[in-house]
Amino acid sequence: MKRFSIVLMMLACVAMAAFGSGSSESASSDGVVEIEFFSLKPEAVDCYQELVDEFNAANPDINVTLTSTADAQTVFLTRVATNTVPECCYVFFNATYEEFFREGLFIDLTDDPLLDLVQPSIAEMAEVDGRNYSIPVTLSPSGIYYNKDMFAEHGWTMPDTYEGLIALCQEMEAAGIQPFAFSDKDAHTIGQQAERLINGNINVDVISKFEAVGAGETSWTKEPEMRELAEMLLELREYGPADNLGMSHEQAIADFVNGKVAMIISGTWAATTINQANVTFDYEMLPFPSYDGRPVYLSTCPDTCYAISASASPEKQEASRRFLEFLLSSEALGKWLQTDLSPNMAVEADYNVECFSVINDMLSEGAMVMLPSVLQPAGFRVDWQVAVQQLFIDHDIDAFLAKSDELTVDYYN
């Protein structure tokens, strides 16, 4: 929490110097209520603009303006720090935004009919201290994407066990095919992969271990999970490119789509980029296989979430509600699903994305667990993923365990 407050103070200074202080409120003119919709998903700007235009045309008493930038999260934090929170916001569900919810930046939607427009399971997952401050729409699990045509050509199938996956990688290399592309240039993709593996495949209750280490009750040098994760991540990299630390997520996807590699490890968010690169490319995402005979869970959290600013006037809050109701309508969701293919939990969504059929079945069966970073102190994963990246540089597992100990104790205290 201390680190979180310091970051906001720094951002406030930057923002006030660059933009000055002020309020996100703008006066209504000619009876038209003006609201701003701030999106944290820049890759969806075209779809959102189309939906905004459609809503404005059908609702002449409301004018929605879309804000979407490449560095959206940083910009949004500056808006929070300077008390200029947009009236209607796309938010993420993680430790940072949980603090925003607790601090009252967004209105309480627990008893709002908007929640009836999403499945109860995702609404429950998005609760903070038993209350809902956002409308969660999609989930973002991850797994292994594989080239279906390449697998069919060689007679390969995705194994159910980690040992089988390593054996398959060796068979691929014998056939002259690189098994994986890893985008280790981007620390955030490393963090996404690492936390999902340690939580979904190594220990579904690993968050309790983080808490115990943070309290000084034990150490990652004594507990097996962090070492197992390090050994797994390093072993997998033996079947990736030699320059994995120089490869971006975009390049990894390009190599996958162009048939240079057989598989990538990523989340449901990658599907849109894959389709944009080659709409005819045949692929599927399956869960990462069982490690050491342990059950497999999808480590995930609500991804697309919508919230309404508590500092907006009542008329702007009501206008925001009407816009969100429109976004959750069957017509708007139909267009949204052409852009964002992640498992959609809205009641009106006709979700039948073939590449995620197995993943969706697991979600429906409840084989999922909350992402660690949602339950951890704000900022922890940002620092920890850099430690994982350093592991790929020096291959020093003991140093990685020591750094993980240091960060866990630091953040949990």
Q: What is the DSSP string of 292-336?
A: TTPPP-EEE-B-SEEEEBTTS-HHHHHHHHHHHHHHTSHHHHHHH
Provide the 8-state DSSP code for 83: T
Mean pLDDT across 199-210 = 98
Share of the chain residues as helix, strand and coil, in percent rounded to the nearest 5: 50, 15, 35
Structure tokens belonging to residue 171:
């068979």
How many angstroms separate the CA atoms of 87 and 312, rounded? Answer: 6
Mean pLDDT across 91-96 = 88
Structure tokens belonging to residue 322:
């009407």
Q: Return the pLDDT at 6.
A: 40
Domain 24-136+305-339 classified CATH 2.40.400.10? no
The domains spanning 24-136+305-339 and 142-300+372-411 adopt the same CATH topology: yes
44-61, pLDDT tens digit by residue? Answer: 899 999 999 999 999 999
Residue 279 or residue 264, greater confidence: 264
How many angstroms separate the CA atoms of 246 and 265, rounded? Answer: 16
**Domain boundaries along the sequence of the chain:** 24-136+305-339, 142-300+372-411
Domain 142-300+372-411 classified CATH 3.10.129.10? no
- Residues 289, 202 contacting (CB under 8 angstroms): no
What sign for the dihedral angle of Cα 220, 224, 229, 235?
Answer: positive
What amino acid occupies position 142? S
Provide the 8-state DSSP code for 104: T
Across 12-26, 289-303, 350-364, 393-407, least confident range: 12-26
Q: Return the pLDDT at 94.
A: 85
- Checking if the pLDDT of 23 tops 60, the result is no
153-201, pLDDT tens digit by residue? Answer: 999 999 999 999 999 999 999 999 999 999 999 999 999 999 999 999 9
- Checking if the pLDDT of 280 tops 80, the result is yes
How many angstroms separate the CA atoms of 258 and 256, rounded? Answer: 5
Q: Return the pLDDT at 9.
A: 41
